Structure formats: structure tokens, C-alpha cells
Structure 1
Amino acid sequence: MARCSATQLGVLVLVLSTSYAVASLTVDMQLEQLRNNYVKLEQVLATKDSRLEFLEQKVQQHGNLEAQITQLVNEVNQMKTQVRRTAELELKVQRQEYLINAVHGESRSHNNVSLRQGTTQMPKSCADLKNNGHTSNGMFLIMGVKMVETVFCDFSKPTSDQNFQKWIGFADVKSSPVYFHAQRIGNYGAANTGIPFNQLRLNVGGALNPVTGVFLAPKAGRYFFAYSGLSWDSNAKVQLQMKSATVGWFKIGEAHCTPFNTFALQSILDLKQGDEIRIIHIHGVIHDRDGNNFSNFVGLLLEEDIFGC
């Protein structure tokens, strides 16, 4: 019985030793696992910190970009405003130059007429020319009712002879030229307003005010006008209108079209000095936003009433 107890005690000691060894081994492994997990956790946190820092930099850069974009937009708007004001000033200066040139041209024309006439009156017939001392046969310019006329004078015949004077026709004489070509840059949609033009190709005589789009006849005569344009994404309508000293604005002609189609107006008008012409936009949108110059307004003096006006 005592031997059995000793054996059991030995087995018990052995089991306890083994359990302690196993327990010790298990704790070491757990500690090693914890250390490994801690290292991995540090690596993950370091990666997260790096990613977070990167994202913070991106957010800061994005904020800087937004500020720069806002600044650029403001600068572009300021430049557009400056360009528009510069264009308006250039148009005003150009108009003043045309007016000055026109006034100087008419002044020189009147001075030259006075020098040619001297103290004599302008001849109205071959008889007047003969009385002024002309003796050589030929074609001459004489004063007609409104315009300068061309006649052939045969001074070898008496003034009573029907062949003494032969009428040839009207002479295309103008005291100064008047013609213009105006265009638009940018869509226009203001209803029931005169169409302004912010690009001038020609404005000889300075009769067209591009800011208001109104043509002021500087002299009496027959004028030709034409307008063409393109509608935007809706139906559009325009009118050619005239205003005289006694009658307010009234319609000369009208044109309209469906979206993205062209419309046109033409007219030859007998105007008095001071009469006004304009193209008025009734409704819709006129398309000129892409710089293709769809809108064109032209006019010119065909015949001038030199006399009797």
C-alpha cells in the first residue's frame, strides 16, 4: 500500500511538472502572439496615420484649388468687364472720328464748290453755261431739281434749237459717302428693343450709332438697308423700323423664323435728313454666341438729293 502511494505520488509529480511545462509553453506562445499582434497593429495604425495625413493634404490642396479657381473666375469677370468697356470706348472714339471726318469732308466739299463757282451761280442748263462764256461743245454737269444731271451742249446751234441741249442722265455725285456694315458678338434676347451692334466693319460717315443700333440719315436721298440673322432655340421676329421728324417709329418690314433658321430684311428708302432707321427685336433670341457673325446690318447712300432739300 505504501509502494502504491509512492508510485501515485511520482505520477502526480510527473503530471504536475508536465502541466506546468505545458502551461509555461502556452503562456510564452500567447505572449509572442500578443507581441506579433501589437506589431501588426502598430503597422496598421502607421498606415492609417499616413493615409489620414495624405487625405488631409488632399483636402487642403482642394481648398487651395477652390480658392484659386474663385480668384481666377473673378479675374476673368473683371477682364470681361474691362474688355467690354474698352470696346464701348473704342466704338465711341470711332464714331467721333467718323463724325469729325464727315464734317471736315463736307466743309472741304463746300469750300471747293465755292472756289469753282466764284461769284457765278451754278448752271441749270446749256443756256446758263453759254451765258457764263462756254463755247466748246461737250458734256457738262448742271444743277437738276434734286440731283446733278449730265447734258450735252452744242453751242454751235442757237438756244432755241431742240438739239442745243441733250439730256444724258443723272450723275452719281455725293457730297460725301455714307455706308456701314455692323455685326454682333453674343446672343441678344431683349424683347421689343433696338438691336445694338458691338462690332463695326465699316461706318463711313458715322451715321450708325452701334450702341443704340440707330442709323441717322446725314443727308436726304435714297438709301439701301439689309439685315440678316439666325434665331436661337425658339421662334424669333425682327422688324425694320423708320422714324421721321413728324412720325414716330413705324414698321417698314418684318421677318421671323423657327429655331436655328435665318431671317432677312431688305429695303430701299427715300429719307430726309434726320430720319432714323433701326432693327428692332420683337421676341425670341438672336444667335451670335459662337463668334460666327450670323447677324449683319448694312446700309449705304445710293443717291443724294444735292439740291432742293
Structure 2
Amino acid sequence: MPDIISIGEILIDFVSMESGVTLAQSPGFLKAAGGAPANVAVAVSKLGVKSGFIGTAGNDPFGRFLKDTLNSYGVDTCHMDLTDEARTTLAFVSLTADGDRDFVFYRHPGADMMLRKEKISEDYIKSAHIFHFGSISLIDEPARTATLYAIDIAKKHGLIISYDPNLRLNLWPDEETARKTILSTLNLPDILKVSEVELEFLTGIRDIDSGLKALKDKTSASLILVTRGIEGVDYVYRGERGHVETFKDVKAIDATGAGDAFVAGVLYGIHERINEFKDGHMTSKALQDILRIANACGTITVTKKGAIPALPTIDEVKRFLSERLER
């Protein structure tokens, strides 16, 4: 049984093979498995922790490719369903010259939306230690009800709940619906990770310090993380404010999956110190060590194209950190 379970969307990313061009100008695309919770599930497994995924893809060649891909990385897919109700969701991704991204989704409907409550197994979820989710599966029914039901099970059995909203406004009906839905679910997690842009979106505040204070009042999370790209990560843990620098000595090629790799690094570190986290006794040094691992995971990921193929193993992370300690 897995120690960390992720629930939500799984899809195909078609990533432009040339940076700095629009989707229309791209000469071709690299096919890769994607979807933030699926990326987290694989990243956790590559870091050496037993990982499971709950979600739905189409009963089509792309869906079978996705399930095979997760299996190949050691992710438990016993509760990943292949449905005939819709085709596998697709995303086309264009890259700017510095590796940032723009998305076009083919998803109305998409198979990831078809996750159903009756497919959720309480026995499966209660066996884990950490449960991770995002906001994409909260947009449409039946996936919304299924996701909230699974979170309720996880909370009932004392799992640590992790939440990365992973805002994609072009998937939501409108900005206000996205904001209201995400804000309404901030009472669910123990760990909340948002980007700098998401912090401003949820609080209306651009300043990081003021935004973090405002977000802290809106969530039950004991650990709040704000990722800021090359500026590192700011955090509040049980009222204590901190910052951890990231690594700036690499060339960014594709940022797809970097945030998911960061999340996986956090969950890996929390899993290693799970009793300390649950008891509220984790030291600042221990948390900062975890965040350095998470930053390394994200940094390594941006050096390659595609999400899942770029996610690092724990050996790669240790080597990356060791090389920088020696400098």
C-alpha cells in the first residue's frame, strides 16, 4: 500500500519542441504524461517513497499510455480508472525563451473530470500517511464530489493533507468561481503550497509578507509555502516566518512540472519526519533542510523538457546538493 496518495487530473502534455514560438509556429511537440497530481505521484515514487494515484483517464491509447507510464515509475494505479465517458485530456504547451509556459487545454469534457465517488476506496486511503490534492478536480462534477469525499476520508483517518491549488484560469468558468472555490477549500490542508501569483490572486495583496499574513488567516494549514521561482520559497510554519534560497546556477529549459517536483520534495521530507510534523515539534533547521531538497527537485526539473521525464530521483537530488556543498 502507498504511503503518499495523490488525487486529481492526469493528462497528456504536448510540449513544443522549440522555445520562444507560439503553438501555431511550433514545428512539433514532445508527448509526455502530465497533470499536476500525477506528476507529484511519480515524483514521490522517484524519490523512493511508496506512491499511489487516484484519477481517471480515457479508455483510449493515450489513457493506456498514461497508466503504463505511472506503472513504469512504480506508482500504484490500482485506483486509476480508464473510462469510456470521455477521451483523455490533452494540453498543448508553448515555451518562452526562459522556459516559462502557456497552455491550451482540450478538456470539455475530458476523462479526468469523470472521477466518481463510488470509485473512491476508504480502505485504500486510510492505509497511507499523506494525501495530496489540487484544485483542478474541484472544477467540475463528478470529480469535485469524489475529490472532497476522498479528502474527508483522509482527514477522518488522520492523514496529513497537502494542497497545491495549481491555478489554471483557462479551465475555470471565470476568475471569481476559481477564487471562491479555492478559498472555500483552504480549511482542508495541513500543508498549503501556492505560487507568488496565486498568493496575490487569493488575497489581493502583492507584497509577500502582507500576503502571507492574509493567507494565514484564511487557512487551517500549519505549513504555508509560497514558491517564487528563482527567488526561492517563503514560508510560515506554526506562526514562524522564514525564507529559503533556491539554486540559480542552472539554465532553465522547461518549467513544466517544477512546482510538482517541489511539492514532492516537501512531501518526501515531511514523510521522513512525519511524527515531528504531526506533533508540531519540527525545528526550523529540519524544515529548511526539507525545503532545500524541494528546491533542488524543482531546479533539476527545469533543466529538461516535459514534466514526468524531467523529475529527479533521490540519487540525483543528493548528488545535486552534494556538488553545491563542495563549492
- TM range, normalised to the smaller chain? under 0.3
If each structure's strand is expressed as a fraction of its own residues, which one has the higher value?
Answer: 1
Structure with bigger gyration radius: 1
